[in-house]
């Protein structure tokens, strides 16, 4: 398998925080192309399916979130700059980094501009103030600004969580290319996980024939049992949450018997997976990184390839299973 490094670079460098995710979603719309259609729900999610398909045809849905850590600007500070809300790490991490700002309604990375963060104190509490000429109160989003680089088997940059698993689910669904398999890209996981409930409710109403959901995300390698950067995992527990352990164990056995490279695991951290479990048997797919939520960190390209293959094998299993059921009927 040949990974598209140019697209990975663009996908990880583009800024999208909270539900201000049009820059990354527009990249994905272009990537999928005319053979695919999308259902966009503002401040919620974007569902991709084969052109001409309906949600009722879906048998499996892959899920990944597209937003990264960063924050948004609130009102003007009397002392200068703007109050800011911070998502994903401590204010000092952002103050020490190169940042970029963009309007909440921005459509692409070409609309970004420089901003700077500074740690301030409010009622003895550490906060972040944002400074920049183009900042607009209550509508400027901001995040790290870093160039994505490749070194041997590693990709290094910002927003690898979640964009590497975004890449993996997109490539797997495209490779399967079947109207019964779709992908939902959710917003705001890093700051407001309940936003994913919009996608859950949409699927509940419009996709009654779901047989499997697989959510893919990027944990810190220290947060996943027996973690390896080059090996994706099926997590049967996320923190204290059960992610259909019996189903996950059986699926891991099935895929391992087919020669798919993965390991069975559990994680200290979680994702939005648990919100989707009422809809259908659910898998939590994890591909670890050597850090998360900082300006630069690394992930394995071999691990990325294996994650694409794992997700593709899961989708093909659903199609094969369904075909056999239909033949019997």
Residue 328 reports pLDDT greater than 60: no
| Reported confidence tier of residue 322, pLDDT bands at 50, 70, 90 | low
- Indicate the SS3 state at residue 163: helix
Beta-strand runs (E) in the chain: 36-41, 45-50, 60-65, 70-76, 82-87, 99-103, 113-122, 125-131, 140-144, 149-151, 154-157, 181-186, 212-217, 233-238, 241-242, 263-267, 282-286, 297-300
pTM for the predicted model, two decimal places:
0.96
Q: What is the pLDDT of residues 49-85, one digit of tens each?
A: 999 999 999 999 999 999 999 999 999 999 999 999 9
Alpha helices (runs of H) in the chain, residue ranges in sequence order: 5-13, 22-32, 91-95, 160-176, 196-206, 245-257, 273-276, 301-328
| Reported confidence tier of residue 1, pLDDT bands at 50, 70, 90 | confident
How high is the pLDDT of residue 123?
Answer: 85
In percent, how much of the chain has pLDDT > 70?
98
Residue 193 reports pLDDT greater than 70: yes
Q: What are phi and psi of 190, to 5 degrees?
A: -75, -15
**Do 305 and 233 form a contact (C-beta atoms < 8 A)?**
no
228 closest CA partner among 276, 289, 177, 181 = 289
Q: How many CB atoms lie within 10 A of CB 225?
A: 13
Say whether domain 5-68+148-328 belongs to CATH 3.40.50.360: no
Q: What is the pLDDT of residues 17-57, one digit of tens each?
A: 999 999 999 999 999 999 999 999 999 999 999 999 999 99
């Amino acid at each position: 398998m040949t990974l598209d490094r140019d697209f990975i670079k663009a996908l990880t460098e583009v800024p999208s925080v909270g539900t201000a995710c049009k820059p990354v979603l527009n990249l994905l719309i272009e990537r999928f192309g005319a053979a695919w259609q999308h259902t966009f729900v503002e401040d919620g999610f974007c569902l991709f399916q084969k052109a001409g398909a309906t949600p009722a045809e879906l048998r499996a849905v892959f899920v990944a979130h597209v937003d990264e850590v960063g924050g948004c600007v609130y009102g003007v500070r009397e002392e200068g700059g703007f109050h800011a809300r911070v998502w994903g790490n401590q204010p000092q991490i952002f103050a020490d980094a190169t940042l970029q700002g963009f309007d909440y309604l921005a459509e692409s990375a070409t609309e970004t501009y420089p901003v700077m963060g500074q740690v301030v104190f409010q009622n003895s509490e550490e906060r972040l103030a944002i400074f920049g000429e183009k900042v607009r109160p209550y509508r400027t989003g901001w995040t790290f600004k870093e160039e994505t680089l490749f070194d041997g088997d590693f990709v290094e940059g910002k927003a690898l969580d979640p964009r590497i698993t975004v890449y993996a689910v997109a490539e797997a669904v495209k490779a399967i290319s079947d109207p019964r398999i779709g992908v939902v890209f959710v917003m705001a996981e890093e700051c407001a996980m309940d936003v994913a409930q919009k996608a859950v409710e949409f699927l509940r109403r419009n996709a009654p024939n779901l047989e499997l959901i697989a959510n893919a995300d990027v944990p810190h390698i220290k947060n996943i049992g027996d973690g390896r950067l080059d090996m994706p995992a099926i997590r049967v527990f996320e923190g204290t949450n059960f992610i259909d352990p019996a189903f996950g164990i059986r699926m891991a056995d099935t895929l391992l018997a087919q020669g798919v490279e993965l390991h069975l695991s559990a994680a200290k951290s979680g994702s939005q997976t648990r919100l989707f479990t009422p809809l259908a048997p659910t898998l939590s797919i994890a591909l670890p990184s050597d850090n998360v939520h900082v300006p630069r960190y690394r992930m394995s390209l071999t691990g990325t390839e294996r994650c694409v293959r794992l997700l593709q094998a899961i989708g093909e299993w659903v199609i094969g299973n369904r075909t056999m059921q239909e033949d019997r009927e």
